[in-house]
Structure 1
């Protein structure tokens, strides 16, 4: 569905992420959040100063075994990104989770998000050795349908877990992709 050259790149260590990439990732996060996206900051508006500490924590945690950032570029420009994470504790090391899945507003509806999630699935299975992926999505914004089209299934809900504003409580939807 995308028109243009879509490419992926993953970052597996803090040293892989340049200052320029940090700014680009932060700018994407700000844009997505301020457009109402469910990417980790529920109370827009935000700016780079708001997202920088959270992004810094992600970058600091990067490790090829447990934490990766995956980016999608369309015609050489960042179109979206996500974070793949796993816990090294042996009891749960067979599954991982996706966080902060987001695409730039200008490329929405062009298949970038779906392609990004499919590539994350491949990396999780083929490179990280994971057997399943999990995520928590904000209810009421169509994310269940988006992930459902990609093979994910809802495994539970926390009714009213997310309070975006007085009178605007949303479910947190727990989703699973298994087997990978």
Structure 2
């Protein structure tokens, strides 16, 4: 059954907790979303609050996917550029699909919903995102139409002696 996507949902305690649980589960499953396992919800909460602040300031939009049981199953944050020369593209951050749903095409569905949302914002000509090397994520994003446009070797330190490339991907919308 497909996910149901909503752009800019009301932030309720249930949604907040659902995103926090999703982020924790994705991180602990080895997902590349800013943390290294093991991680607890209390460690992730401050970063989620920063995302909510950016939303309250109008700089960021939330796209959330719910599964058939109504649980938060996927998220992506769309962040507009504030630099006056770069307002024609946005960043896609914290792209997550719950591990229990992976392998069902929900990642592709999430990226398609993010593209649709970006197109609906008006004036957006591209979506950029970054991903951590070492997981093959760049191949997944490429299969969804994104192109690698930059790579910073060893920019991400996952642990002692475990440095990964930061890969910049772009989806042109023109």
Given candidates 102, 109, 129, the residue that maps to 2:123 is 129
Once residues 111 and 178 of structure 1 are traced to their aligned partners in structure 2, the CA distance between those partners, rounded to angstroms, is 22
Once residues 162 and 111 of structure 2 are traced to their aligned partners in structure 1, the CA distance between those partners, rounded to angstroms, is 28
Counterpart in 1 of 2:143? Answer: 149
1:16-39 CA distances to partner (integer Å, 9 max, x unpaired)? Answer: 201111111000000000110001
Give the alignment's TM-score, normalised by structure 1: 0.90
- Does residue 103 of the first structure (1) align with residue 97 of the second (2)? yes
Q: How does 1:17-96 map to 2 (within 5 A)?
A: 17-41=11-35, 43-62=36-55, 66-75=59-68, 76-96=70-90
Counterpart in 2 of 1:163? Answer: 157
CA RMSD in angstroms, aligned pairs only: 1.6
Q: How far off its partner does 1:119 sit?
A: 0.7
Distance 1:125 1:133, change over 3 A: same
Once residues 57 and 41 of structure 2 are traced to their aligned partners in structure 1, the CA distance between those partners, rounded to angstroms, is 26
Contact persistence 2:15–2:72 (CA under 8 A)? no
Contact persistence 1:69–1:82 (CA under 8 A)? yes
